[in-house]
Chain A
Amino acid sequence: MKSPIRAEGTRGHAARLAIAAGLLALWALGSGCATVRAYQRERLADRIMSFQADAKEAARRTKALEAREGSTGGNGGAGGGCACN
């Protein structure tokens, strides 16, 4: 059975969340941003800049913190890219 207490408010909040994230994504992905050339990506490929290096650690921490707190997520799936081919 669903929680009967929350209905419209939650849906509105979720919609605002999605819109905000979508706008941010459009801004980040917009072609107006300067292009980073292939030979300029050394810093981006450094271990200390990696999202992947953090992903497993973040997943372990999320699992531990889910037992302590009421929310979850924030890791997404794997992203990638932004390095050489």
Chain B
Amino acid sequence: MAGAACLVAVSVAGGRAAVAPGPPVDSARWVRVMSQHPLRTIDGRTLTLKDLKGEVVVVNFWASWCGPCRKELPRLDALHASIAGRGGRVIAVSIDLDAQNARRFVKTHRLSLPVVHDGPNGLARELDLPRVPFTVVLDRGGAVALTAAGADEGAIQTIVKTTRQLMAGVPDEPRVLAKGAP
């Protein structure tokens, strides 16, 4: 019994990478759907991503009920502050059921980045969002440069680095970033 229990413990724990890679996305379809989907900000404005062509756009899908999202969003807010008005921006897309929850979080943490409320049945369902949080970085041409699932330090740093490289005009191949990958 003791041996069996140990075997269960070790076999469950070992033998796999600590982090499962995120599923690949159909970049062309994602760009097409996101570009045309109207997004309503929590302060009542409407915008679409196709209007932002020419800018580097970081689209972060988040929810107030998601712990890692709550830790990541202030970091992305800082990124937005450093690139806004200089050809880049971060847009946070809330998939909360109730927009009030998103508003409350933004107000409590004094976030300045544009926050959109789209609910769980908008873009998230259309794209079949694989993880939350999930970040898509679009280059100036509107193509997907990076997707990242998760909010660990490695993912955040890679999002920031990729965004800055795109802002500086450094060409980059589209990448799918697994949680925790460098």
When distances are taken between beta carbons in the complex, the residues of chain A under 8 Å from B120 are 39-40, 42
Which residues of A (3-58) have their CB < 8 Å from a CB of B? 37-42, 45-46
B63 touches A85 (CB 8 A): no
A39 touches B179 (CB 8 A): no
B124 touches A39 (CB 8 A): yes
A85 touches B131 (CB 8 A): yes
- Minimal beta-carbon separation of A20 from chain B (angstroms): 17
When distances are taken between beta carbons in the complex, the residues of chain B under 8 Å from A46 are 65
A85 touches B179 (CB 8 A): yes
B65 touches A37 (CB 8 A): no
Main secondary structure of the interface of A (DSSP, over half): loop
**Considering only CB atoms and an 8 Å cut-off, how many residues of chain B contact the other chain?**
24
Q: What residue of chain A has the Cβ atom nearest to residue B22's Cβ?
A: A85
When distances are taken between beta carbons in the complex, the residues of chain A under 8 Å from B153 are none
Whether, in the assembled complex, B159 has its beta carbon less than 8 Å from a beta carbon of chain A, the answer is no
Complex Cα gap A42–B121 (Å): 12
When distances are taken between beta carbons in the complex, the residues of chain A under 8 Å from B97 are 42
Whether, in the assembled complex, A59 has its beta carbon less than 8 Å from a beta carbon of chain B, the answer is no
When distances are taken between beta carbons in the complex, the residues of chain B under 8 Å from A85 are 68, 131-133, 149-151, 179
Interface string of B120-162 (1 = CB under 8 A from A): 1000110011111110000000000000011100000000000
Q: What residue of chain A has the Cβ atom nearest to residue B96's Cβ?
A: A42
Among B61, B67, B125, B134, the residue within 8 A (CB) of A83 is B67
Interface string of A72-84 (1 = CB under 8 A from B): 0000000000011
Complex Cα gap A38–B125 (Å): 10
Whether, in the assembled complex, B33 has its beta carbon less than 8 Å from a beta carbon of chain A, the answer is no
Given contacts A84-B133, A85-B132, A85-B150, contact A39 B95 (CB under 8 A): yes
Q: What residue of chain A has the Cβ atom nearest to residue B134's Cβ?
A: A38
When distances are taken between beta carbons in the complex, the residues of chain B under 8 Å from A39 are 61, 63, 95, 120, 124-125, 129, 132
Extra pairs beyond A41-B132, A42-B63, A84-B132 (9, CB < 8 Å):
A37-B125, A38-B130, A38-B132, A42-B97, A42-B120, A46-B65, A85-B132, A85-B133, A85-B150
Chain B: residues with CB nearer than 8 A to chain A?
61, 63, 65-69, 95-97, 120, 124-125, 128-134, 149-151, 179
